[in-house]
Chain A
Amino acid sequence: MIHFVLLISRQGKVRLTKWYSPYSQKERTKVIRELSGLILTRGPKLCNFVEWRGLRVVYKRYASLYFCMCIDEDDNELEILEIIHHYVEVLDRYFGSVCELDLIYNFHKAYFILDELLIAGELQEPSKRTVARLVAAQDSLVETAKEQTSSITNIIAQVANTASL
């Protein structure tokens, strides 16, 4: 299984973390620090796998972001590379040519997409189209709900205003 997912920038800033195994808050900070040190210093031509604490960390660099996933020893590392790519492609489809800035300002959306892709550290949906469709459906639900509340608020505000007049 995937134990955690980490997105770090080249400068070591954390853009996204998702934990599928129990790590306390303190442990999480420690893990992030350790892995940042380990991965950010690796050269470009080296293989994408690092052995760490008896587990394996698969990472891939996309522009200025490192996508890291930590797996067990007996998992298929090449498949994880595919999963990482799968995620990036879905993000790309959703944001339209995604860049790091998109992920910073819309981190919650990145999380929502990740949640449609992985649960309990396992892959959920191999079809990018389905994932996009599901996320879009949920987004529209949110939009509708917002419109409703704002329209209600408007009505109430108008009523309140007229009442106070």
Chain B
Amino acid sequence: MNPFSSGTRLRDMIRAIRSCKTAAEERAVVRKECAAIRAAISENDQDYRHRNLAKLMFIHMLGYPTHFGQMECLKLIASSGFPEKRIGYLGLMLLLDERQEVLMLVTNSLKQDLNHSNQYIIGLALCALGNICSAEMARDLAPEVERLLQFRDPNIRKKAALCSIRIIKKVPDLAENFINPAASLLREKHHGVLITGVQLCTDLCKVSSEALEYFREKCTEGLVKTLKDMANSPYAPEYDIAGITDPFLHIRLLKLLRILGQGDADASDCMNDILAQVATKIESNKNAGNAILYECVGTIMSIEDNGGLRVLAINILGRFLSNRDNNIRYVALNMLMKAITVDAQAVQRHRATILECVKDSDASIRKKALDLVYLLVNESNVKPLTKELIESLEASDQEFKGVLTAKICSLVEKFSPEKIWYIDQMLKVLSEAGNFVKDEVWHALIVVISNASDLHGYSVRALYRAFQTSTEQETLVRVAVWCIGEYGDMLVNNVGMLDIEEPITVTESDAVDALEVSIKRLNSDLTTKAMALIALLKLSSRFPSCSERIKDIILQNKRSFVLELQQRSIEFNCILQKHQNIRSALVERMPVLDEATFSGRRAGSLPTSVSTSTGTARNLPNGIAKPAAAPVADLLDLSSSDAPAPSSSGGDFLQDLLGVDLSPASAPPGTSQPPKADDKASLVNLNGLASLTSLSPNATSASPAPMMDLLDGFGPSPQKKEENGPAYPSLVAYESSTLRMTFNISKQPGNPQITLIQAIFTNLSPNVYNDFLFQAAVPKFLQLHLDPASSNTLPASGNGSIIQSMKVTNSQHGKKSLVMRIRIAYKINNKDVLEEGQVSNFPRDL
């Protein structure tokens, strides 16, 4: 015995490894064996090479690295004995893959083995080649394989056929060489050769259209006959499976016929009979039969239309659908999805069964059924289908809920016939699976609600009811909070009751309770709380009796660590305390949100989520729009400009709303930026907040304005000093008997849109003017920036003047000229005087 042999036999090594109790033990055993094998390799041990390789393969299966054994495979393959070659080829297929260069070294051995006298060795070589050859090897050895397609032994022919498949997949150019030999294989009697021959033809057709034409012309009839013989053949024990002779051959033939018949009427005609025969005669109580039927249905659906056959096929699918076997149902759903493109009507008939499958306990089936249902929905069946889907929502598990919710929401949106139905369905979905609903979906819901003015009362009552039961669904809470805030009065007074509604008594205090709960609940996130705060503010105006209580609730957040909440709390508190007079105007009913713009906006995929911000971008889900510095216009009713000013992304939406006609009856709801402690800072803040980066459809309210400028007691409007290079003649912008205002205009170099104006005020009366305050407003397409005035006392009779600088940015520079509305307030002997006017005599090209 060779003193260097690795002593253990394969069996012993496996036993040793299996008896290891821990991973460390196993590693030790493996390491020892590997060492022995490595030693044997370096000694070039002949005798136990194949045993060592077998061991190496086992170790490889356990997951350890074994690349040092790759050359051993090559050596074994190169040796002359059959056992060595057998193990060598096996090792090759296991330890190597086609991407490794070592593989190339085998090419020569393979070539020799393909010409070996021992047919089993030829078989080994073909097998290895067919499993892992690379493109170069394929090209080199293709002629050999081609030759072997006509070898005397059928087992070699069948292996050669499958090997050829790999070759033509790797090197499609070679396909032509295989067409003729493949065609002759189709006339064989040996089942193995026939199956592999059919498979080769199928793959040839996929790779080369020339082959497809050839087979279609020459072989279709022969194939049909073969299938017929198969179907009618008597019992053959060797090939029998479940009472059917060679189901595999049936299936392969059907597959090839499918490819040949697709798109060709003649070929399809040829096969109609046999397809009908197979579809009707094959028994479907065993899997083998079902496999054949499945393939048959697939073929029928793909070839040219024959009415009767199609009906037959769909019926078989219908039978499959009601089969208790999960596999069959899965397979049927799969085929139905493909069938929809061909014959949607027929598939609709099986809608009920498909809906059952959506509730199935098997996840694969559920998913497939849902996809199918989605394809089946149209205007006429959307209502019952949605009802079913929502029912299955209740029964489904977490993973599936997300997918199902998304699908339901998209269906409801696409096909909803009327608004009230849409609102109902969305409410159900929100109550059931609100946490899975995406932001844009519930934004859309709010847009719809606000547009359905006759349904406001209904919506808010329904939401209130839902809110009582399903507070854990975040989005439901948000929508409810918004509606209660907006339409609280309708809720309490039962406005707009529809016949179908049940009466519900909700007191003002109940409504406030609901909002308080939503702030206080544990899993409310920032958005919900923020929305609840503004809703409370709205209610404080609608329900004055609850004002105190609301104030207390709002104040509780005064010290919140979250900036957004703290800010809102303080601001709203200010409004409640100091600005009672404007409060109602502030939180008046919102104007209708423009649906068309919203959906257009959405399609343009602007970020719509009301995200919990870190404080820099303030997202305002409802109501308070941070004004751009410009649009004081609307408040002063300056609508001289029609075109909305282009502004930053968020501002767009704002602008559209500003474009909405604000009837004078309802005083244009303005928003106020209640002053913070530091007045001077506030204008800066205002400008900063003008960038509305996030777009929420419910972020609106109409206008904006730096109301500060117009409200008393807010401190002097911040003004800016500025330079004036007289590029233009100074013009008298305003003159009355008591006051003259002169503008010195210059252009900022480099920026034609910006105009720098220096206003000089001269007192034309003999009285001194105290607390002089100049304010100006410009239309939307302009932006105005005022600097602080030089002083606020204007000496009498022109003995001094006040100078104030401002900067105007004209976004419609060149198209529209500047225009400005002014208001000057001052005191004479402690009596207030107010002068107003309009400056429209600016030079045209500013």
Contact = CB atoms under 8 A, between A and B. Distances in A.
Contacts of A79: 247-248, 251, 291, 295
Given A107-B58, A119-B163, A138-B86, A47 B362 contact: yes
Contact of A25 (B97, B155, B238): B97
Contacts of B123: 134
B320 to A, nearest CB: 10
A164 B112 CA distance: 41
B191 A49 contact: no
A123 B98 contact: no
Interface stretch (B126-134, B264-272, B627-635, B805-813): B126-134
Of A24, A47, A112, chain B has the most CB atoms within 10 Å of the CB of A47
A79 B57 CA distance: 30
A127 B191 contact: yes
Interface in A85-136: 86, 104-105, 107-108, 111-112, 115, 119-120, 122-130, 134
Given A81-B327, A120-B162, A126 B191 contact: yes
Contacts of A82: 241, 247-248, 287-288, 291
Given A112-B90, A122-B165, A138-B120, A47 B291 contact: no
A34 interface: no
Contact of A78 (B18, B155, B291): B291
Contacts of B162: 119-120, 122, 124
B90 A146 contact: no
A55 interface: no
B131 A17 contact: no
A112 B366 CA distance: 39
Nearest to A153: B47
A140 to B, nearest CB: 10
A105 to B, nearest CB: 6
Given A22-B99, A105-B14, A127-B238, A48 B327 contact: yes
Contacts of A159: none
A22 B93 CA distance: 11
A125 B158 contact: yes
A31 interface: no
A116 to B, nearest CB: 8
Interface in B147-170: 155, 158-159, 162-163, 165-166
Interface in B231-255: 238-239, 241, 246-249, 251-252, 255
The number of chain A residues touching the other chain, given as a range, is 35 or more
Contacts of A48: 326-327
A20 B287 contact: no
B327 A47 contact: yes
Contact of B192 (A51, A120, A127, A137): A127
Contacts of A122: 162, 165, 196, 199
A47 B363 CA distance: 9
B82 interface: yes
Interface in A30-69: 45-51
Given A48-B327, A112-B86, A127-B191, A24 B364 contact: no
A125 B90 contact: no
B408 interface: no
A155 interface: no
B615 interface: no
Query: Interface of chain B, helix or strand or loop or mixed?
Result: helix
B365 A111 contact: no
Given A47-B362, A104-B14, A119-B163, A29 B295 contact: no
A100 B478 CA distance: 58
B347 to A, nearest CB: 19
B396 to A, nearest CB: 15
B330 interface: yes
Contacts of A50: 364
Contacts of B99: 22, 24
Interface string B427-470: 00000000000000000000000000000000000000000000
A94 B195 CA distance: 23
A82 B127 CA distance: 22
B131 A129 contact: no
A16 B327 CA distance: 25
A127 B239 contact: yes
Nearest to A23: B97
Interface in B364-379: 364-365, 367
B291 A45 contact: no
Nearest to A13: B62
A107 B326 contact: no
A19 B126 contact: no
Interface in A1-37: 14-20, 22-25, 29
A88 to B, nearest CB: 13
Of A15, A18, A23, A105, chain B has the most CB atoms within 10 Å of the CB of A105
A128 B328 CA distance: 26
B636 interface: no
B308 interface: no
B238 A129 contact: yes
B131 A29 contact: no
Interface string B824-845: 0000000000000000000000
A20 B131 CA distance: 6
B294 interface: yes
B248 A123 contact: yes
Contact of A126 (B58, B249, B291, B295): B249
Interface string B190-212: 01100110010000000000000
B580 interface: no
Contact of A47 (B63, B82, B166, B365): B365
B326 A45 contact: yes
Nearest to A129: B238
Given A45-B362, A46-B364, A127-B191, A107 B238 contact: no
A126 B364 contact: no
B86 A119 contact: no
Contact of B11 (A45, A105, A124): A105
Interface string B60-83: 011100000000000000000111
B364 A120 contact: no
Contact of A76 (B54, B165, B251): B251
Contacts of B158: 124-125
A78 B287 contact: yes
Contacts of A145: 81-83
B326 A46 contact: yes
A77 B334 CA distance: 11
B329 A47 contact: yes
Given A79-B291, A107-B57, A119-B159, A137 B327 contact: no
B331 interface: yes
Contacts of B247: 79, 82
B61 A17 contact: yes
Contacts of B363: 46
Give the 6 A-B CB pairs with smallest separation, nearest first.
A78-B291, A47-B326, A119-B162, A119-B130, A120-B166, A120-B130
9 contacts: A45-B361, A45-B362, A46-B362, A78-B294, A82-B287, A86-B241, A104-B18, A125-B158, A127-B238
Interface of B: 11, 14, 18, 54, 57-58, 61-63, 81-83, 86-87, 90, 93-94, 97-99, 120, 123, 126-127, 130-131, 155, 158-159, 162-163, 165-166, 191-192, 195-196, 199, 238-239, 241, 246-249, 251-252, 255, 287-288, 290-291, 294-295, 298, 326-331, 361-365, 367
